Every structure is written in structure tokens, then in C-alpha cells.
Amino acid sequence: MSREEIQKLLGGYATDTLGEAERRALFEAALEDQELFDALAKEEALREVLQDPSARQQLIVALGPAREPFAARAWRWLRQPAALATAGGVAALLIVAGLVLHQTKHAHREAMVADAITPGPPAPVAAIAPSAAPQEAKKSPVVGRQLRRLAPLSAPRALAAPQPAAQSELAEGKLSTAPAAPPPQQPAPMATGALDGPAQANGQDVQVQMQAQAVISRNAALGSVRAAKAAPSAANLAVEYTLLLKDVDGVYSPVPSGTVFHAGDSVRLQVAPSEAGYIYLFQRNASAGWSLVASQRVEKAQRYALPSTGSLQSDQPAQLELLLVLSRLEQTAFANPQAADIDALASGASSPSAATAAPADFGARLVDARKRVGAPQASFKITIEYR
């Protein structure tokens, strides 16, 4: 032991803490070192006091209760109600903070994906041959990155089956169906095919919106590398409608769906299209076939009464068959419709049985039953019962 280490043994002399070897080392050093010997001699006073057991006990009492080991102290502290409450509160706070952080990160990542891949109006792709798609994808790292980012989103197969909730969101204009509604005369081309289908609703507006945007963006991204049919929009066409009955004051008021009308009742159709475009109302006459009752330009989610002048009426008990056509493009041929064409539209029309949940102030909501996302037009058959 060095001199410094031996000097540290001094504290153990008065309390008789030293072992045999420690005592020998200390005393041998003291015989050779006067300073250490003097220090040892001064300790003698303390040693005399501490050799009295009662004096030791008095000092032990003065030192206070023994300190527990760290683990025991920690456990005892944790068992206190206040400590338990504090620890529980902190734990709950950490859990909530973790969840919030996780959700924030998740939402931020989704938003970044949507922002990153949402392009401007898709470029026309007519000049690009379908076979060039893989090569283009390889050449363009941006496109490749877009595709990779899109990969975790809804698979095309999952998008194939439209969900009413999602359609409702789309038709009501809650969802961003960018690119913006295109001019009817010059619809923006976009890809369809494997990506056809509405956004799959999952009950969360944000997620539906993200998926819808992702579908649109994905269509747009792929539109530059895949040859596809031109389509003006990615959403299913839909129309909300209700029947208006003219009262004695000449005012048209909504009536519940399924209302049975009496001969002579004047009826109008109030519609609100899901997309801007043109709407056409045909009425079937038993003898003359389909005739155009009303047609006009319509804006998305705006309400229109059809016909705007006059009314639908039957002077005898009958079934009044109506055909409502919503088209993104103006159909000049409807001015003089060919019976076969209208019959074809009627045969493929969606009927109220295919209606989905409608707003409270609407009688019904009709969605293109053929589930053709981006179809240029959709037809809906409505029957009014007169008794």
C-alpha cells in the first residue's frame, strides 16, 4: 500500500474497523513516519471515547435511522400513494403522447405522399404507346419514386368494388376529386383499366380522401406511362333527387319517396348532380316511346328542378317512366333522340333500387350502378306511380 493509501486507514483505527493486515500495515508505516505516528496518537482520544459501548450507541442514535439499500428505498417510495399516482399519471401521459405522436407521424406521412404525387392536370397520353410504359417507368426516377410511394396504398383489386360511403363522399363533393372538374368539351384524359373503381371507404373522411386522391394521383402518374382510354373524371356519376308535388298554391314541395300520386298531380324532379355537366330528362310514352322533357347545363352539387317550366303529369292511373341522364359532355344527339339509343340507355340505367343513402332532404340518391369510374355519362330510371 502506498503512503496515501495507508493514511486512509487512519479513520479505521479509532473505531477498530481495521483488519489484522490493515492494522499491521498502518502501525509499521507509523513507526517509520513521524507524521503518521502523530496522527495516530491524536486518534487515541477518539478511540478512548468510542471504546465505551454506550458512547457508540449514543452516536449511532445521533446518526439517525439506517439508510436502506437503493432498491429498497425505490420500492418503498413507489408504494406511496402519491408516488403511485404520480407514476401512473406519468405513464398515462407517456402513452397518450406516444399515441398522439404516432398518429401525427402517420397522418403527416400520408399527407406527404398525397402532396408529393398529386400532379397538375395529367398530360395527354394519346401519343404514348402502351408498350412504352415499362421503359418510361425505368427512365424516369420521379415516376418510379411515385410508384413506389403509391405501393402501400389501396391495391387496385381492393378498389374494384365501390363502397357506398365513399361514393357518397365523392358525390357530395366532400372529397377532393382533383384534377378539378374538367371542361365538358375538353375532358382531361386519364388512365383507367386496372385502376378503375372508386375509392374504398373506410369510414374515415381523411383516409377516404387520401385514398381517393391517391387513386386519382396514381391514375395521373400512370397516365404518363400507360396508354389508356380518355376519361374526364375518376368518380362515379351520381344524382340525388327528390320528387316535388305542386300544392294548391302552385308551390312545389318535396314529398317522401314512395309517395303515390293521384291522377292530375303535377310533379317535378329536383336533382343535384355529383359532377358538373349536362342533365337530360326523358319521359316514356306508351305510344311515342322516349321523349326529351328537359335538358340543361348543371353544376356540381347544385339543385335543379326538372322540368324548369311545366310539370310531369298523368291524367290517369299509370306508371310514369322517367330516364335521367347525367353526362359530362353535351349530348347534341339527344335533341332528336333515336329510340334505340334511348332504349339502350334505359336498359342500362340504374334504378332507385340501386340508390344509396341520401341526404335527409332528398328522396333518393342514385349512383351509376355499372361502377364505371370516369364514365362519360350515367343514366337513371325513375318511376312515378299514379293511381
Partner 1 sequence: MERDQILLKLRERIVAFAASHVQGDIAEDLAQEVLILLHEKYHHVDRLEELVPLSLRIARFKIMSLRRKSQRRGEYTQVSVTDIQLPDLEADPATLVERKLMLERLTQAVAQLGDRCRELLRLKLQGKSFGEIQKRMGAQSINTVYTWDHRCRQQLLDLMGGGWEPEKK
Contact footprint for partner 1 (CB under 8 A): 5, 7-13, 15-20, 22-24, 27-28, 30-32, 34, 37-38, 40-50, 52, 55-56, 58-60, 62-64, 66-67, 69-70
Q: How far is the CB of 83 from partner 1 (least distance, A)?
A: 20
- Return all residues near 383 (Cβ < 8 A) that are at least 6 apart: 319, 320, 321, 322, 351, 352
CB closer to partner 1 out of 8 and 109: 8
Which of these, 229, 273, 179, 207, lies nearest to 372 by C-alpha position? 229
Give the Cα separation of 298 and 278 in Å (integer).
Answer: 5
Tell me how far, at minimum, the Cβ of 24 lies from partner 1, in Å: 6
The DSSP element (H or E) to which 384 belongs, if any, is strand 377-386
Residues 6+ apart with CB under 8 A from 266: 245, 246, 252, 311, 312, 313
309, HSE (Cβ side, Cα atoms, 13 Å): 0
Pairing of strands 238-246, 364-367: antiparallel
- Least distance in Å: CB of 72 to partner 1? 12
Instruction: Please state the closest distance from residue 80 (CB atom) to partner 1, in A.
Output: 19
* 377-386, strands of its sheet edge to edge: 289-298, 277-285, 318-327, 377-386
Nearer to partner 1, 24 or 106 (CB): 24
Smallest gap from residue 75 Cβ to partner 1 (A): 16
Name the residue nearer to partner 1 (CB basis): 45 or 97.
Answer: 45
Least Å distance between CB 74 and partner 1? Answer: 14
- Shortest distance, position 93 Cβ to partner 1, whole Å: 31
Q: What is the three-class DSSP state of 304?
A: strand
Which grid cell is 229?
A: 382510354
Beta carbon nearer to partner 1, 29 or 195: 29
Specify the amino acid at residue 295: S
Which of residues 61 and 333 has its CB atom nearest to partner 1 in the complex? 61
In the three-class reduction of DSSP (H, G, I as helix; E, B as strand; rest coil), residue 380 is classed as: strand
Q: How far is the CB of 95 from partner 1 (least distance, A)?
A: 33
Please give the single-letter amino acid code of residue 34. Answer: Q
Nearer to partner 1 by Cβ, of 25 and 329: the residue is 25
Q: Least distance from C-beta 202 to partner 1, angstroms?
A: 56
Query: How far apart, in whole angstroms, are the C-alpha atoms of residue 63 and residue 61?
Result: 5
What sign does the CA torsion over 262, 263, 264, 268 have? positive
Q: Which is nearer to partner 1, 17 or 351 (CB)?
A: 17
Beta strands 377-386 and 318-327: pairing type?
antiparallel
Which of 173, 175, 236 minimizes the C-alpha distance to 376? 236
242 close to 270: Cβ distance less than 8 angstroms: yes
Nearest to residue 266, comparing CAs of 255, 279, 281, 258? 255
Q: Which is nearer to partner 1, 58 or 291 (CB)?
A: 58
Q: Residue 11 or residue 310: which is nearer to partner 1 going by CB?
A: 11
57 versus 383: smaller Cβ distance to partner 1: 57
Report, in Å, the least distance between residue 54 CB and partner 1.
Answer: 9
